[in-house]
Amino acid sequence: MEKLYTMNQIAEMLELSVRTIQNYLKEGKLTGKKIGSQWRFTEKDLERLFSDESFIDEKNIDENHRLQEFLKKDSVNKPEIFSILNYPYKKDFKLRELMKKINENIEQANKCRFYFASTANTFKFFLEGDIESVINLQKIIDENFKF
């Protein structure tokens, strides 16, 4: 049976507000099914969103802003790292499996911020936080992209 995501789960996964997800629904950028009174989304629904050019443009602007904010920091309490991982598009990539592995290693995931974006040709992962946690999360992501 196919995994279904709630609006809250999608918002959390993408680091967006529920309101933004609702707007994506209204604009047609995101499609889903209404079960009872609640929206549910499949991985295919997410893949369509990730391939929407205006969504990609918005996410790229957002990620650029995050990087600029990281670069502007003039003091930190402990060493930090900002890592950007680019992977070629892989048709059989399973976001759900990756999120499951990240959740299994939630301690590392909670010590860093994780952002995901995709284009027609690449998957981009943005990781920010303490060095050890980011490196561990990078390894988890890399394991999902064995060619």
Q: How high is the mean pLDDT of the chain?
A: 82
Residues 11 and 39 in one domain: yes
Residues 126 and 75 in one domain: yes
The closest of 137, 89, 92, 88 to 110, measured between CA atoms, is 137
For residue 14, give its domain range. Answer: 1-50
Residues 78 and 39 in one domain: no
Residues 85 and 130 in one domain: yes
Residues 15 and 40 in one domain: yes
pLDDT tens column, 9-60? 888 877 778 998 999 899 898 999 999 999 999 888 887 887 777 776 777 6
Residues 76 and 145 in one domain: yes
Residues 112 and 125 in one domain: yes
Kindly provide the b/e burial profile for residues 31-51, where b requires at least 16 CB atoms within 10 angstroms of the residue's own CB. ebeeeeeebbbbbebbebbbe
Kindly report each contact of residues 39-42 with a partner whose C-beta sits within 8 Å and lies 24 or more positions away, as own/partner.
39/6, 39/7, 40/4, 40/5, 40/6, 41/4, 41/5, 41/6, 41/7, 41/10, 42/2, 42/3, 42/4, 42/5
Whichever domain contains 100, its CATH number is 3.30.1370
Residues 38 and 91 in one domain: no
Residues 38 and 81 in one domain: no
Residues 86 and 122 in one domain: yes
Residue 96 has a pLDDT of 67
Q: Where are the alpha helices (DSSP H) in 15-128?
A: 18-27, 43-50, 53-72, 95-104, 106-110
Q: 10 Å Cβ neighbour count for 112?
A: 22
Whichever domain contains 46, its CATH number is 1.10.10
Sequence length of the chain is 147
Mean pLDDT of 119-133: 84
pTM (2 d.p.): 0.59
